[in-house]
A and B are shown apart, each in its own frame.
Chain A
Amino acid sequence: MTTPPLATESSSSSSPPSPSAWRPPQLSMRWWPVFLRNLLVWRKLAIPSLIGNIAEPLIWLVAFGYGMGALVGQVSVGETKVPYILFLASGSICMSAMNAASFEALYSAFSRMHVQKTWDGIMNAPVGLDDIVLAEMLWAAFKSIFTVTAILFVMLGLGISHSPKLLVAWLVLAGAGVTFSSIALIFNALAKGYDFFTYYFTLFMTPMMFLSGVFFPLEQLPGAVQVVAGWLPLANAVALVRPLFMDQWPVGWGRHAGVLVVYAGVAFWVALALTRNRFRA
């Protein structure tokens, strides 16, 4: 048995080459105990967290909705005229979904991943990194749903909308939570410290807020900007939620929902690949 000298290097190796970080997600139900862990921690802080999550969007809503609303009066959405408070409420609830998911998937997930090394501890147990990332994504989405639900109840109480289609809006917002937490996890995977997230907020989220028809109709923007805005995830979420608040079915809902689903799927995959690289897994 003579082996050519060049072959010895590989002959001693029985392991396959390192798998690509872009391999398909390997997901299982093992995400659940990780999700549950986050839920248990949050349960200890739920009340202050709830107040924080709801107070800010409501202050915006009251100040702008009633304050500005008095100046603006009615706003045209398609062929319908609606009170500004309804216009703003339906947009700002999408913004709240985005903010809640992003904060959780950035600051809190980063604490668990990098500062507390919680993920490292979990990976010493039979739970893979892919399931941890899935759990974090679903957890951030859950927090977003929780916030949105609370705000919806307050809006119902204020009588902003009583459409039964709000139930569908709630489902759309849950989906938007998944999309935004997936996107935020990309930046979580790239972060060296908390400061990095400032870029995400100021360079991505804030401009998107103004380009997505939350505060004013998109038609106010120049044509080229409107084209760009049409592909922003927040704009598509608003385009779905606003008509539902107005007790109408959204026009072109398939395209809007499709954009959100594609963003969620692609972003989750990218986030997973970058997180695998980070952990050299």
Chain B
Amino acid sequence: MRERTTAGAGEAAIVYRLHAPWARGEPWSPTDGAARGPASESSRSAVLLISLLPVPPVYTSASQAASAPSPATAPAAPLFRVANLRKRYGDTTVVDDLSFDIAPGECLGVIGPNGAGKTTTIRMCLGLTAPDGGSIEALGLQMPRDALAIKAQLGVVSQFDTLDPDFSCAENLVVYGRYFGFAKNEVRQRVPQLLEFAALSHKADAKPGELSGGMRRRLSLARALVNDPKLLLLDEPTTGLDPQARHLMWERLQVLLQQGKSILLTTHFMDEAERLCSRLLVLDHGRKIAEGRPRDLIAEHLEPDVVEVYGNGALALANVDALRALAARVEVSGETVFFYTQDARRLLEALSGHPGLRTFHRPANLEDLFLKLTGRQIREDG
């Protein structure tokens, strides 16, 4: 009945090895080996880079160094491929013909208003919801057929914490590691590293209820790293956090990217998307409405400068032809007029003739793009 682990972790490792193969992807499927090769992305330069940071790399084990790809394998096959995905609930199409890839080492951001289909997409990617059409391929395996083998190599932080309130931080990690087939002692060795990565070393014995929101999210992240995943699926990992906690989370995610991990991130924070994501997917009503690098998307869809005008009489300016001529696009939202322009200097000069107004000049950003593509109306159904 019992199998001995090939990792040679010693006697302790045979305590519970009944389902170990899927945990480390050994004799699972013939394609597994192929998935391991180019997909593992921890180059030595990345490890060097990390060592300069005041953060411990989560895993610096020999196994990772061994699986580091040679530079020759650079144009790697996608780690994750979603093609023509569709999902309908009753008469509502929640995800409509959605396709995207995640390349090794990439952080793909998925942004969209509430109800755009982000969470449903993630659920389908995890095999938790059956798609009505399309295909999901991950690490050379097929979802949902190989759901468990794929999940053995994924790390997930869901929108809401699912930490065990009765266990301490350290116990949460050990217990979660067991779901991946790791013996207690195997995970225990990694717990200090994982806690340090999450900046929770001093809270090892605290229960989740005693932690702040940011700490809980970081513990969730540490838990998602317990199996040293190649790809992380993060569903709004910073929602509800204060700026300090959010920045710490970003810092940690950047470290993971430098270590060569890939990330799929959904978020409502445009600065988060711009900072972390190498590529973005804008979803609305279940459909992909834009895809590309954040800067490219902004350049493609927007004028470079935005002048926001508010104060007495600001709204009337939206109809002044002389000003409209200086802007490529004018939008009114509430009490504020937004001028999107190629030439902010001339516009600001013209506006200076209207005293009593307050102007704010800034470069166009991702939020402008998001609002342009998805509109300014409130979406409260989620």
Contacts and interface: CB of A to CB of B under 8 A. Distances in A.
Interface of A: 10, 12-15, 17-19, 28-30, 32-34, 36-37, 40-41, 44, 116-118, 120-128, 279-281
Contacts, number: 107
Query: Majority SS of interface residues in chain A?
Result: loop
A65 to B, nearest CB: 36
A41 B131 CA distance: 35
Contacts of B135: 14-15
A118 B97 CA distance: 32
10 contacts: A14-B83, A15-B132, A117-B162, A121-B162, A121-B176, A123-B126, A125-B180, A126-B180, A127-B148, A281-B129
A122 B165 contact: no
B130 A126 contact: no
B164 A37 contact: yes
Contact of A12 (B16, B97, B176): B97
A41 B22 contact: no
Given A12-B134, A121-B163, A126-B180, 19 more contacts: A13-B84, A15-B134, A19-B130, A29-B18, A30-B148, A32-B18, A33-B16, A33-B179, A34-B179, A37-B164, A40-B175, A117-B162, A123-B126, A123-B128, A125-B179, A125-B227, A126-B148, A127-B179, A281-B130
A218 to B, nearest CB: 42
Contact of B160 (A13, A32, A117, A127): A117
A12 B133 contact: yes
Contact of B166 (A15, A44, A120): A44
Nearest to B147: A128
Given A13-B133, A15-B132, A44-B166, A124 B126 contact: yes
Contacts of B156: 124
Contacts of A281: 128-130
A126 B133 contact: no
B221 interface: no
Contact of B131 (A15, A32, A128): A15
B179 A126 contact: yes
B293 interface: no
A161 B154 CA distance: 55
A125 B164 contact: no
Contact of A37 (B97, B144, B178): B178
A128 B151 CA distance: 10
B171 interface: yes
Contacts of B227: 125
Contacts of B167: 40-41
Contacts of B180: 125-126
Nearest to B86: A13
Given A40-B167, A279-B128, A124 B133 contact: no
Contacts of B162: 116-118, 120-121, 124
Contact of A33 (B86, B97, B144, B178): B178
B166 A41 contact: yes
A28 to B, nearest CB: 7
Interface string B44-60: 00000000000000000
B263 interface: no
A64 B115 CA distance: 59
Interface in B147-192: 147-149, 151-152, 154, 156, 158, 160-167, 171, 175-176, 178-181
Contacts of B283: none
B132 A126 contact: no
